[in-house]
Amino acid sequence: MVDLLTLTLERRTPEQIQGEAQGFTWQWLGEGLLQCTPKSSYAKTIVLSAGIHGNETAPIELLANIINDLFAGRGALSARVLFVFGNPEAIRQGVRYLENDMNRMFCGAYQHLQTDQETERAAHLELIITQFFEQSSPEAQRYHYDLHTAIRGSLFPVFALFPYQTQPFDDFLIQSLNAADLDALVYHNAIGKTFTHFTAEVFQAASSTLELGKAKAFGQNDLAEFASIDQVIRAVVSGQALPVRQKQKIRQFKVVDSILKQSEDFQLKLTADAPNFSTFQKGEVVATQADNAVVFDQQVWILFPNPKVKIGLRAGLILKEIE
């Protein structure tokens, strides 16, 4: 039994760092890192990550429960899986990040920041991911589900983002997200520096960032709210059939612009508690800075509005709905 969450919270090393469990072998690869490989052949190799932002606890608890159930024999494993709790010190402190947003550090972006434990962790995660994919069966399709919760509420409470890519999006990934009763899908329009951009760009993994409700402290999450995504992840790693979607048709959006904070007088024309997917009508002012107004010639939606980011960072994504 490897209780990865307890080991991470208590900064402990397990008594054994590798072994065998219910139909699979496992290896503890370091703090917040657990690799599980089925004894039989496998067709999928999957990264399941949470805690890149340390205060987003529901996905961490969800993955911890899946791990515990695998070791207890309450679930089968038919895929090779790497479980990742991304930012251990931020998880322990209950903060989003220590110095800089770690989900902007990938694809080598950490090299342009002052070295600290988060930049070193991002570099280490890139190394671990590289080894995991390169040591997996070359025939296996690569996947990455990166689980998050949002800073604020959302008009679409559960949604996913696809990193920018030129190749077609993986059918099974889309099917799994649809089965998870997500409310919306968002397609990025440019290469970024997030964890899923790294796995998609470097390893051609079918990758997606999932946003599941709002960030809360450990012990305050109602995991029943995430029963659908929990069921889907368990089906994906076990090779079972995906559940049938229960909600109305999923909404789809594409990113058409990013709002960058470029001066200290930056203001978003939103209330502090405005939800994700808030709407601006054609010609309506979205933000102001340095005597300039940001407006659009069509109705748009805003995602991840955050006027408190550091200068030079993204303060929001502008979306357009697509059929």
CATH code for position 264: 2.40.50.630
Which residues are part of the catalytic machinery? 211
Q: Is 53 annotated as a binding residue?
A: yes
Is residue 112 marked as binding?
no
* Arithmetic mean of pLDDT, 161-179: 94
Q: 56 and 136 share a domain?
A: yes
Q: Is residue 250 part of a domain?
A: no
pTM for the whole structure: 0.93
Mean pLDDT of 88-113: 95
CA distances from 136 to 40, 114, 132 (A): 13, 33, 6
Domain count, the chain: 2
Say how far apart CA 304 and CA 232 lie, in whole Å. Answer: 25
- The reply to whether 183 and 271 lie within a common domain is no
Together in a domain, 173 and 287: no
- pLDDT over threshold 80, residue 151: no
Residue 244 phi, psi (nearest 5): -85, 135
- Quick: pLDDT tens for 172-182: 999 999 999 99
Q: Is the pLDDT of residue 278 over 90?
A: yes
Mean pLDDT score across all residues of the chain = 93
Is residue 226 located within the same domain as residue 260? no
Question: What CA–CA distance (Å, rounded) separates 171 from 150?
Answer: 26
What's the confidence (pLDDT) of residue 134? 96
Q: Are residues 134 and 21 in the same domain?
A: yes
Do 271 and 223 lie in one domain? The reply is no
Tell whether 110 and 208 lie within a shared domain.
yes
Asked whether residue 1 carries a pLDDT value surpassing 90, the answer given is no
Range of the domain at 309: 255-322
For range 281-287, the mean pLDDT:
92
Residue 56 labeled ligand binder: yes
127-143: b (≥16 Cβ within 10 Å) or e: ebbeebbeebeeebbbb
Phi, psi of 275 (to 5 degrees): -80, 160
Cα–Cα distance between 53 and 96 in angstroms, integer? 5
Q: Which of 238, 263, 292 is the last residue of a domain?
A: 238
